Amino acid sequence: MSAFTANEMMTIAASRALKGSDVCFVGIGAPSAACNVARLTHAPGITLIYESGTIGTAPDVLPLSIGDGELCETAVTTVSVPEMFRYWLQGGRITIGFLGAAQIDRFGNINTTVIGDYAHPKTRLPGGGGAPEIATSAQQIFITMAQSKRAMVDRIDFFTSFGHGEGGDHRKRLGIDTAGPTLLVTDLAVWKPDPATKEFTVVSLHPGVTREQVQETCGWPVRFAATVEETPAPTALELQTLRDLKARTEAAHKAGANAGKRGSKDG
């Protein structure tokens, strides 16, 4: 159980940042995995909310999308999307917004819309969904993503979700009174914004990762904290919880796909 992958380290390091008292607006994918590992280990009291309106959900498997029936079936309650955004999110009741990104810059601004020119993109991405509102209305924003120069860029191709803008007090100047991105967890390191400039700075390297590796997979000159810690390796409990969750998810989705094929033939 001592061996682990970079992706497992990323997910577990991100999960550790959550507390049982948090009310967390969860993104699909890596954020969902991190939040549910936290719920199943050290933070059983955490309230997980997905964009479809499911509150206090406790999925046994990771959802394929915000519309996955698993979320509604295991939720304490399900409310309308307008109520979710107007009352819960814009009402300041969400402590953590947990997001992923296709592109990110040094100030935590996120692109999930297009790669390349908007009118003639190289790749058209899923879009913002509720992320732009989450980025400005949740009390804090956590972000998790794998590092690459293609993803961590000096300038994002499209401004989907506002992080710290140009840095410094840009959020405050725009009248945004929430903290914005306070944590970035990648497959190589843990980053936090500089208190003054708001530029993401490496505060912890995952086991076996070097500063050179971090710089090689980042599109801007990386800043390192005065003291850079080593991220604690995953515990046996954390690894087993994550692997069991992934195994259940794979089995459930495979069974669902097979059932769909049988239904199609029968029809």
51 in catalytic set = yes
Distances (CA, A) of 11 to 96, 133, 146, 175, 185: 16, 24, 10, 33, 8
* Helix %, strand %, coil % of the chain (to 5): 30, 20, 50
The DSSP output letter for 206 is: P
- Please tell me the distance from the alpha carbon of residue 78 to that of residue 52, in angstroms, as a whole number: 8
- Please tell me the distance from the alpha carbon of residue 233 to that of residue 229, in angstroms, as a whole number: 12
Q: Which of 51, 70, 199, 238 is catalytic?
A: 51
φ/ψ region of 67 (left if φ > 0, alpha if ψ in -120 to 50, else beta) reads: alpha
Largest CA distance in the chain: 64
Task: Kindly provide the residue ranges of all beta strands, DSSP E only, lying in the chain, ordered along the sequence.
Answer: 23-26, 47-49, 54-55, 77-78, 96-99, 103-104, 110-111, 114-116, 121-124, 140-144, 181-185, 189-193, 200-205, 223-230
Active site residues: 51
